[in-house]
Structures are given as structure tokens and as C-alpha cells.
Amino acid sequence: MEYKRSSALFAEAQKVIPGGVNSPVRAFKAVGGTPIFAKEAKGAYIIDEDDKQYIEYINSWGPMILGHAHKPVIDAVVEKAKKGTSFGMPTAIETEIAELAVSMVPNIDMIRFVNSGTEACMSAVRLARGFTGKDKMIKFAGCYHGHSDAFLIQAGSGAVTFGSPNSPGVTQGTAKDTLLARFNDLENVKEIIAQNEGEIACIIIEPVAGNMGCIPPVEGFLEGLRTLCDAHNILLVFDEVMTGFRLAKGGVQELLGVDADIVCFGKVIGGGLPVGAFAARKEIMEHLAPLGPVYQAGTLSGNPLAMAAGLAMLQELNEGDVFQRLHDKTAYLHKGIDKVLTEAGITYQINRIGSMISVHFCEEAVVDFASSAKGNNDTFKKFFHGLLDRGVYIAPSAFETWFLSDALSYEDLDKTITAIEDVAKTL
Ligand SMILES: *Cc1c(COP(=O)(O)O)cnc(C)c1O
């Protein structure tokens, strides 16, 4: 049987790790079955513990934009490791990567490095609150900003609703400061602002959503948020943990030409090591300790191995035409999937921007959380397992985006399209 060793490893893991995984999305709960255990990966391929090879469309949920075990990144980490792995003192490489990031991303003067996307978003909101002297924030249903308390608030169906926690352990006190809005619905945001006039510190958003499938903003939506924020003294926070250094050198700010006040990073910026960061113009960043009163810290923040990986990654992204190549490859895949699913008579939607793409098994356009949730999950499960069996690894949930890496060849894409054609016959 395939997946034999993975099944055995999963059984062992469950005895000592809750659910056998250190992050819930890995557990295959949405699709059923046993998670496959990764053994190693190179370029566009991952090999599991049963020595089966897959063409990769998760890429560590985004970071491996140049493919796995990319030589310049690995070399940089190995060389650094020989000189010590952590000092608790400032190092030159932190300034080097900060300068590079600031030069690549529009509209930021300073950046602070942390250890995850969660930390970046959590710190960005604290900074926005400290800077504006206000408490509340608006987030959008279906947008994910990490697992810190204030973000784990469920979508209510009412147009304007106080958040209620969707994880035990998040207090009502925390939840009441998180206001929920509908993605791509500017009128909804206006109403919420009107009902909380003078109390909102920031609006945080994935400017291209990637955690309810891939959902680009409709025309005028981000621009409208910018205008509202300016009119009401609210900071606009772009959570570019997924889109930063993926959709363009300068992320969505550059791609769609809308400026944020604070930008959060993670995933690609760490080259596969644990890194997050948040950045803004000087006036805002100077509110952070030790310059200002807003506290934020980290024993391993700016860790030399993580900075070496991130720097090698950003340098390469800054030089080449990676983003155009990725765009072309993703457009090619889109066209191929369109053809085979249409021929098979399947009802579906495909959303795509840059190297992010998602397939939804539903009739209507997917523009927000509610429309994304209408996708047929039984069809998705079959689709997922069918592809897995045929050696194509996509994320184990209909709410996840596929991330292409530059290591994918057109031959890999053709093989993927053929696998999808094959699976479509079984749906
Ligand atoms: C992954 C992700 C996060 C959380 O990052 P972690 O490194 O997992 O803590 C936050 N925001 C967005 C948009 C993400 O995709």
C-alpha cells in the first residue's frame, strides 16, 4: 500500500503531538485520509517517506517561490551556521536585508524582523493602536492573519457585528475590539466605520486574499479603503505575509498601486526559515521600542540563519524576472485546467493572480468568504486525493491557494494538467 510509512509515522506522532501535527492545516482534516510525511524536497518536487514523488503546489504554503533546497539559499544558511547560530546581539546582516527590503517595497522606510507571520500581524496591530491611540480594528471574514487572539474571530452573518471568538481561550473582552467586514464590500466597511466613529485604529486586510482560496480585490475596493482610512484617521494595514515578494518585488502595493500604512511580511521573506516582519514609514515605526513606547521584542528575532536565507532569497528575487516567469507559468496552468475541466463538464471557478491560483467547484464567482464556502467539498476531496495518487500535491483544503514555484517546468505543468484531466473523469 502507498503511504504505508506515512501512516505508521502519523500513528506514532499522534501519541506525542496533538493531532500528530504542529500546525492544524497539515492534518488532512478537510479532505480525510492520512497526511503524507515529507522526507526531502528538491526544486519542484517533494518526496514522501514512502519514496513517492510529487509535483509541488504548496511550497511550504508559500515560501519556496524559487523551489525547494534552492542552492544559493542553502549555501548561505550553511555558511552562516558554521559561524554560530544566535548571539542576542545586533548583526550586520540584519541591516543588509532591511536595506534591501526597504528598497524593494514601496512606501516603507523601516522594517522590524520577527519570527512568524502571526507575530508580524499581531505587532502591526499593536503599533497601529499605539500610534492612533484607538482600540478597535476591522478585519475581513475569511482573511487569516495568524493565530493571535484578536484575529480568531468568527464571521457573523449580520452586516455589522461585534466579533465573537471562534476558539475557546479567546475572551469576549478581546473579541469586542475586532469588527468583521465582508471582503470586497466597501459599503459594509463604511457602515462599520460610521457605527464606530473615532474608535477604529486600523483596517487589516490580505490585499489579495489567499486563505479562502485566491480572491483578488474587485476594482476600486482597495482604493476605497485607502480613501476611507484617510478620511477617518485609520491606518491601513496590508497583511502581505502571503503576497509580499510573491506577486511582485513590492507586493500588492506595487502590483495594484495602492499604498498601505503598515505592511506585514512572512513566508517568502524568510526563504523557508522562520521569519516575519512588519514595516511602515518612519513616523509610524519610531513609535516602537526602544525608540518609542510600543513594546515589541524577540530573543531569536533577526536570527542570523534566518536572515541569511531571507537575504539570499530577496537578492535573487530583486535581480531576475522571476515574477513575469511565474505569471506566465500560472497563466499556462490556468488555461490547461480550464480546458480539461470544461471538456469534462465540471462546474468550477478558477481565480488567479500572479503565481497564486485556486480552483473552486461552484457555479458563482468566488469574491468573498460566503461565495468561497459554497464550493462543493465532496468534489474537492475527490479532486485532492485523485491528484495526490497521481503525484500532484495541492493544499489539503478547498480554502487554500496553490502557490507556484519558479522551479516548475512546462513539462511539470503539462503533467499536472494531464493528471487533472484524468481525475476530472472520476468527479
Ligand atoms: C500564513 C499567514 C499568516 C501567518 O503566518 P505564520 O508564519 O503562519 O504565523 C498571516 N497572514 C497571512 C496572510 C498568511 O498567509
Which residues have CB under 6 Å of ligand 1? 116-118, 121, 144-146, 206, 210-211, 239, 241-242, 266, 276
Question: Does CATH number 3.40.640.10 belong to domain 71-319?
Answer: yes
Per-residue model confidence (pLDDT) at position 219: 97
From first CA to last CA, the distance across the chain in angstroms is 23
Sorting pLDDT into bands at 50, 70 and 90, what band is 2? confident
| pLDDT > 70? residue 156 | no
**Whole-number pLDDT of residue 157:** 38
3-state secondary structure of 411: helix
Q: How confident is the model at residue 153 (pLDDT cuts 50, 70, 90)?
A: confident
> What is the distance in A from the centroid of ligand 1 to the CA of 339?
32
**Model confidence pLDDT, tens digit, residues 7-54:** 999 999 999 999 999 998 899 988 999 999 999 999 999 999 999 999
Q: What is the mean pLDDT of the chain?
A: 95
Which listed residue (3, 57, 144, 393) is catalytic?
Answer: 144
Average pLDDT over residues 97-125: 98
Name the superfamily (CATH) of residues 4-69+321-424: Aspartate Aminotransferase, domain 1 (3.90.1150.10)
Give the pLDDT confidence score for residue 1 in this predicted structure.
54
Which amino acid, residue 172? Q
C-alpha cell, 353: 493572480
Q: What is the pLDDT of residues 212-235, one digit of tens each?
A: 999 999 999 999 999 999 999 999
**Rounded distance from Cα 149 to ligand 1 centre (Å):** 14
- pLDDT value at residue 163: 57
Dihedral angle sign, alpha carbons of residues 308, 314, 319, 320: positive
Of all residues in the chain, the percent with pLDDT exceeding 90 is 90
Rounded distance between C-alpha atoms, residue 225 and residue 218, angstroms: 12
Q: pLDDT digit string (tens) for 368-402?
A: 999 999 999 999 999 999 999 999 999 999 889 99
Span from the CA of 116 to the centroid of ligand 1 (angstroms): 7
pLDDT tens-digit map of 244-290: 999 999 999 999 999 999 999 999 999 999 999 999 999 999 999 99
Q: Which of the residues 267, 348, 406, 412 is marked catalytic?
A: 267
Which pLDDT score is estimated for 172? 83
pLDDT of residue 234: 98
Q: Is the peptide bond before 396 cis (omega within 30 degrees of 0)?
A: no
Tell me which of 25, 145, 245 to substitute to probe ligand 1's pocket, judged by most ligand atoms within 8 Å of the beta carbon.
Answer: 145
Q: Looking at ligand 1, which atom is closest to the CA of residue 206?
A: 13
201, amino acid identity = A
Query: Residue 158's pLDDT is what?
Result: 37
Given a cut of 90, whether residue 200 has pLDDT beyond it is: yes
Q: At what angle do helices 322-343 and 410-424 cross, to 10 degrees?
A: 20
Q: Cα 13 to chain center, whole Å?
A: 26
Residues facing residue 238 across a β-bridge:
205, 263
To the query of whether residue 144 is one of the catalytic residues in this protein, the response is yes
Residue in the structure block whose three cell numbers are 464556502: 373
Q: Tell how far CA 177 is from the center of its chain.
A: 24
Which ranges in the chain are annotated with CATH 3.90.1150.10? 4-69+321-424
pLDDT of residue 25: 87
DSSP state of 217: P
Say whether 378 is catalytic: no
What 3-state class would DSSP assign to 63? coil
pLDDT-derived band at 192, boundaries 50, 70, 90? very high
Cα–Cα dist 361/376, whole Å:
5
Concatenating the DSSP letter of every residue in 128-192 gives HHHHHT--EEEEETT----SSGGG-EEPPSSSSEE-EESSTT--HHHHTTEEEE-TT-HHHHHHH
Q: What's the pLDDT at 159?
A: 34
Other C-beta atoms lying within 10 Å of the C-beta of residue 50: 17
> Beta partners for 38?
48
Annotated catalytic, 239?
Answer: yes
Instruction: Tell me where in the chain the CATH 3.40.640.10 domain(s) lie.
Output: 71-319
Percent of the chain with pLDDT over 70: 97
161 pLDDT higher than 50: no
